[in-house]
């Protein structure tokens, strides 16, 4: 504002000199005009420098903001990954179930297995438990309780849960506390009988002191299925050592029996589903037009034969049992 006033005064002075022809001040007038021009150029240059400084400052601030945001995002991803690991620190990796075994002593005849055998030395409980991650039922997984008398099958679901503390009697007979993250939930197929009365039970997979897998179950002797599951008095089944798997002369027979049970359960389930569907139909004519349970069982057996041609005889044997009402 003061600079504008100064220019105005110079202009008036110049006009005054022109009007009165004051030649003595001609030199002074030129000098003043020169000074004004220099001052004007200086002011413009100052404004440009100020704008450049502001622009540079803004750019630097933006770059810093982007770098800060990128760093924060990276830290958040890293933190999220760490939290995911920390949420289930005692979880069992189900890939550890996968193993290859030779059949009939032929090294070229190897087959991947997705199950593990677990054993217990407790009395009056199932001697062996088999957990199969690729079972032929609608849940996709199954558990088999074996004893000298019979084998009992249940479908299962396996999930990761928040860390849980349980107490159990170990394989060595000593009581200890463990932390678990992998839950094995006992399920039930449609029209299946809950012979052990354990549907809804939660058992737990965990790594034992030998770095192999164990499963904690109810104590079937002191805490039978007719009672609520006591999570403070569970028992441990340990993973059956490989040496026992190979040296056991009954291994091939037990493998065949397990395969047979899977095929039977799958065919039986298909039979029951179709029967229940037919029973739900009220129109007599429509009932006659749909597939029969026997046809559904045969169709399932045919599908299994396509998927497992090496077990055709076992599948047909299982089909005959279902059709005979067993």
Question: pLDDT tens across 251-282, in order?
Answer: 444 555 555 678 888 888 888 788 778 777 87
Regarding whether 242 and 99 lie in a shared domain, the answer is: yes
Regarding whether 289 and 168 lie in a shared domain, the answer is: no
pLDDT of residue 234: 97
Regarding whether 160 and 114 lie in a shared domain, the answer is: yes
pLDDT of residue 244: 44
Regarding whether 101 and 82 lie in a shared domain, the answer is: no
Last residue of a domain, one of 247, 262, 294: 247
Mean pLDDT of 225-239: 94
pLDDT of residue 104: 56
Any idea what the Cα angle at residue 174 is, between residues 173 and 176, rounded to 5°? 135
Last residue of a domain, one of 247, 266, 282: 247
- Core vs surface per residue 166-195: b (16+ CB within 10 A) or e: bebbbbeeeeeebebbbbbbbbebeebeee
pLDDT of residue 248: 44
CA–CA gap between residue 298 and residue 267 (Å, rounded): 8
Regarding whether 274 and 196 lie in a shared domain, the answer is: no
Domain count, the chain: 3
pLDDT of residue 33: 61
Residue position matching structure tokens 């104590």: 219
158-167, 203-212, 214-223, 310-319: which range is least confident on average?
310-319
Any idea what the Cα angle at residue 127 is, between residues 124 and 128, rounded to 5°? 150
Regarding whether 281 and 239 lie in a shared domain, the answer is: no
Domain encompassing residue 35:
2-86
**What share of the chain in percent tops pLDDT 70?**
64
Top pLDDT among 87 and 41 is at: 87
- The answer to whether the CB of 208 falls within 8 A of the CB of 237 is no
Regarding whether 123 and 149 lie in a shared domain, the answer is: yes
Mean pLDDT of 160-173: 94
| N-to-C CA span, the chain | 107
The yes-or-no verdict on residue 243 having pLDDT over 50 is: no
Regarding whether 156 and 288 lie in a shared domain, the answer is: no
Regarding whether 120 and 66 lie in a shared domain, the answer is: no
122-136, 191-205, 288-302: which range is least confident on average?
288-302
Last residue of a domain, one of 23, 54, 86: 86
């Amino acid at each position: 504002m003061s600079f504008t006033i100064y220019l105005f005064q110079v202009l008036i002075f110049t006009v005054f000199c022109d009007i009165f022809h004051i030649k003595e001040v001609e030199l002074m007038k030129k000098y003043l005009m020169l000074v004004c021009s220099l001052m004007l150029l200086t002011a413009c240059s100052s404004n440009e420098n100020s704008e450049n400084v502001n622009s540079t400052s803004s750019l630097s601030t933006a770059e810093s903001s982007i770098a800060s945001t990128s760093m924060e995002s990276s830290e958040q991803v890293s933190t999220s990954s760490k939290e995911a690991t920390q949420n289930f620190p005692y979880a069992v990796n189900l890939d550890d179930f996968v193993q290859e075994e030779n059949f009939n002593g032929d090294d070229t005849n190897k087959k991947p297995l997705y199950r593990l055998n677990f054993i217990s030395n407790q009395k009056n409980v199932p001697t062996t438990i088999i957990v199969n991650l690729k079972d032929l039922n609608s849940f996709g997984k199954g558990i088999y309780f074996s004893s000298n008398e019979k084998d009992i099958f249940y479908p299962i679901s396996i999930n990761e849960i928040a860390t849980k503390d349980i107490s159990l009697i170990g394989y060595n007979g000593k009581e200890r506390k463990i932390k678990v993250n992998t839950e094995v939930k006992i399920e039930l197929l449609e029209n299946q009988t809950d012979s052990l009365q354990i549907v809804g039970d939660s058992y737990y997979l965990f790594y034992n002191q030998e770095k192999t897998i164990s499963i904690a179950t109810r104590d079937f002797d002191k805490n039978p299925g007719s009672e609520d599951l006591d999570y403070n008095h569970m028992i441990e089944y340990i993973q059956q050592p490989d040496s026992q798997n190979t040296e056991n002369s009954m291994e091939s027979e037990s493998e065949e029996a397990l395969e047979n049970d899977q095929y039977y359960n799958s065919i039986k389930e298909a039979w029951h589903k179709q029967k229940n569907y037919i029973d739900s139909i009220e129109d007599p004519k429509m009932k006659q037009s749909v597939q029969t349970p026997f046809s559904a069982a045969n169709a399932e057996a045919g599908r299994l034969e396509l998927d497992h041609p090496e077990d055709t005889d076992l599948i047909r044997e299982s089909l005959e049992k279902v059709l005979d009402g067993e």
